[in-house]
Structure 1
Amino acid sequence: MTRASRLRPGRALGRSSVAVGLLGAALAAGPATAQPATDQPAALGTPSEAVQQLIDLSHQSEQTNQATLGAQADLDTKLAARHTAEAAAAVDRQALDAAKTTLAQYQPEIDAIASATYRGARTGRLFAVVLSDSPQQLLDQMSAMDALAAQTTVKVSGFKRAADAAAAADVTARASADSARTAADQAAAVRADLTRRQTELQGRIADVTTAWARLSAADKQSLAGSPLPAGFDRDAVLRGLTPGSPIAALAAGMTRIGDPYVWGGNQPGGFDCSGLVQWAFKQVGKDLPRTSEAQSLGGTPVARDDMQVGDVVTFYDDASHVGIYAGNGMILHASTFGVPVAIAPIGNQPFHNARRY
């Protein structure tokens, strides 16, 4: 009988994951000072009920953990968008200022032309004929008037171009400023959501650690189980390993067997489920997303019957748990609080999908 079947008949073993600092804070402060979650631990009955409660609470904490990680990633994206929008707005403001400066340089000359025209200045060839006393004087006056008209045309054309450029820059600057404000508002909303989720997670962690503390030593040992199932042949699983392959990612992940489960952990010494998968693939030069949900959307889809060693497998309808397929119906995963990184049967939790990276 497997560890999972002993502990949770008819139920899937819950998992968890979020900030390492949150776990440390919750454990240091103790359940009395942590924010309570919505679902409070109920009164415990038999030892098996206590274990089942821990399993249920662990899965809830993992869902909250993954949601918090997703909110953090969303915030990072929104902050980057805000930075880009604000930088573009600054460039557009500079362009607007430059256009206004150019326009101002033309303004005195345009004002002078407008004033002369208002006072009745005559620059046409007809007036040159009327006012000339000789043919030579006519030619001189016509040449001067042509030159003056050409200068006036150049100045007016330059003024119009500068005015058009200033108007366009004003429209662009206003639009980029609006985009920057929108990006800032979106970042603020996501930050507020992240704060709410972090508070909820602290409560979940407090619930799990409280439930864990209520277990007997025998129950804790039984829940942790063995890191390798009986008969698991590591060498056979890793046969055909090549550098950079998904099998190599599994091999890297297997070096962390025995590391504790830590909400938000993604480094040796403590992992959550998606943190372990991300870390393992990073060791072979592949960058995977941070959350289990995002990991369930990347790579290439793989049918359950076509899975190969090294494929990424996610579980539950919301893809809130993830592991690496180890062949023969087994996965490597960071399971839940109190259970170190281990190889376990894939059927211990409801299958969602598989992806090949």
Structure 2
Amino acid sequence: MGFHRRLVPSGFDRGASAALCVLSAAAAALGAVPAVAAPHDDTRAEVDRLYEAAEQATEAYNKADERADSLRGQVSDAQDHIARQQERINTMRESLGSLAGAQYRSGGLDPSLALLFSDDPDDYLDKAAALDRITARQAGELEELQSAMRELAQERAEAAGKLAELERSRKAVGTHKRTVEKKLAQARQLLNLLPSAERAAYDRASRSGRSDLPDLTGVAAPSGRAAAAVAAARSALGKPYVWGATGPTGFDCSGLMQWSYAQAGISLPRTSQAQRYAGRQVPLSQVQPGDLVAYRSDASHVGMYMGNGQVIHAPYPGAPVRYDPVGMMPVSSVTRV
């Protein structure tokens, strides 16, 4: 295909183009905003690095948030099961009756020892004779009760572990959120250091209007579900980038992919790193409309191939969902869902 080389989107500054499609990615320590403004090219390069760091942190946030959601569901299920199990145990205790209950509470103490420690040996012998008459069915029920109580204790311990992990995930979500917000705030501060004309030029490069849509005439998706996902992604053109969002009014890069395929009845993982393994990987030379294109070695950005060398994606704050050349950044993988 003619677009395998790295392309630079028209209207983009070449020094900034490698990261102008960016926003989901890990919180590398990049240092504070310099007290003295650097030359304009350095300022714009630093803005791009901050956007890339914010993109990595966004995907880390998405992963932690997804884990927290999963744990909340697991904890809720465990609590429901524990409640049902406790109710079952209570019913079993009632059905065993007072004698069988007394036998259970004795903890299976050896009869000779129980007699030795009894305050009233005659009373104990009378009860022992009665206990000997407990039916085999009641003895089985007693074993079942003991087993149920052991299971309940184990389930409670597991639920406590999940609750602790949930709390750790909540803290991780908060940490990644603060990292994203810090990087974006630093980027905005640096942009404000640029002269107004250069800032306006940068802003123009950061937005793609509806008037410059690529020609996709004759392009067809290879399957019905790919066609539905492509149509959904196309309907999101112009929607704002909102980090951590999965639509329908705003998206981050992996959120747009997840939402678009959900409209086709396909459930994708939440993060770009997981989405790259959500189907069969194919060579870039065989890319087709609807394929997911992951960028950078860490797959911290993702877009959807639309045909004629174009992807649609949610780039970064201030840049709405738009088309860009598939070669806008180094491609790490192509996945056919």
TM-score range, shorter chain: 0.7 to 0.9
Structure 1 residue matching 2:294: 3-state secondary structure: strand
The answer for the alignment partner of 2:157 in structure 1 is 178
The answer for the alignment partner of 1:32 in structure 2 is none
Counterpart CA distance in 1 for 2:300 and 2:324 is 17
Q: Could you tell me the TM-score, scaled by structure 1's length?
A: 0.74
Q: 1:55 Cα shift? A: 1.3
Q: Is the 8 A contact 2:273 2:299 kept in 1?
A: yes
Which amino acid in structure 2 is aligned with residue 74 of structure 1?
R
The answer for the alignment partner of 1:69 in structure 2 is 62
Q: Is the 8 A contact 1:323 1:333 kept in 2?
A: yes
The answer for the alignment partner of 2:32 in structure 1 is 40
Distance 1:326 1:162, change over 3 A: closer
The answer for the alignment partner of 2:5 in structure 1 is none
Larger radius of gyration: 1
Structure 1 residue matching 2:43: 3-state secondary structure: helix
Q: 1:115 Cα shift? A: 5.5
Q: Is the 8 A contact 2:93 2:145 kept in 1?
A: yes
Q: 1:271 Cα shift? A: 2.1
Which amino acid in structure 2 is aligned with residue 179 of structure 1?
E
Counterpart CA distance in 1 for 2:300 and 2:227 is 23
Q: Is the 8 A contact 1:260 1:339 kept in 2?
A: yes
Counterpart CA distance in 2 for 1:217 and 1:109 is 83
Counterpart CA distance in 1 for 2:78 and 2:158 is 6
Q: State whether structure 2 residue 64 is matched by structure 1 residue 85.
A: no
The answer for the alignment partner of 1:199 in structure 2 is 178
Q: State whether structure 2 residue 215 is matched by structure 1 residue 233.
A: yes
Distance 1:64 1:306, change over 3 A: same
Q: 1:200 Cα shift? A: 1.7
**1:275-354 equivalent positions in 2, closer than 5 A:** 275-354=255-334
> Number of aligned pairs?
306
Which amino acid in structure 1 is aligned with residue 278 of structure 2?
G
Structure 1 residue matching 2:237: 3-state secondary structure: coil
Give CA deviations for 1:199-239 in whole Å, capped at 9, x if unaligned.
Answer: 222212211222333343443244225457979312233x4
Q: State whether structure 2 residue 63 is matched by structure 1 residue 59.
A: no
The answer for the alignment partner of 1:166 in structure 2 is 145
Q: 1:351 Cα shift? A: 1.2
Counterpart CA distance in 2 for 1:205 and 1:345 is 25
Counterpart CA distance in 2 for 1:181 and 1:81 is 11
Distance 1:50 1:349, change over 3 A: same
The answer for the alignment partner of 2:112 in structure 1 is none
Sequence identity percentage = 26
Counterpart CA distance in 2 for 1:300 and 1:115 is 78
Counterpart CA distance in 2 for 1:157 and 1:265 is 61
Counterpart CA distance in 2 for 1:317 and 1:198 is 23
The answer for the alignment partner of 2:111 in structure 1 is none
Distance 1:115 1:161, change over 3 A: farther
Q: Could you tell me the TM-score, scaled by structure 2's length?
A: 0.78
Structure number having the greater helix percentage: 1
Q: Which runs of 4+ in 1 moved over 6 A?
A: 108-111, 228-231
Distance 1:161 1:56, change over 3 A: same
RMSD, aligned CA: 3.3
Distance 1:232 1:98, change over 3 A: same
Give CA deviations for 1:23-55 in whole Å, capped at 9, x if unaligned.
Answer: xxxxxxxxxxxxxx8632334433332222221
Distance 1:282 1:212, change over 3 A: farther
Distance 1:231 1:189, change over 3 A: closer
Stretches of structure 1 that go unaligned for 5 or more consecutive residues are: 19-36, 122-148
Counterpart CA distance in 1 for 2:137 and 2:214 is 81
Q: 2:233 aligns with which of 253, 259, 274?
A: 253
Q: 1:344 Cα shift? A: 0.9
Distance 1:183 1:231, change over 3 A: closer
Counterpart CA distance in 2 for 1:165 and 1:268 is 51
Distance 1:264 1:115, change over 3 A: same
Q: Is the 8 A contact 2:293 2:304 kept in 1?
A: yes
Q: State whether structure 2 residue 266 is matched by structure 1 residue 274.
A: no
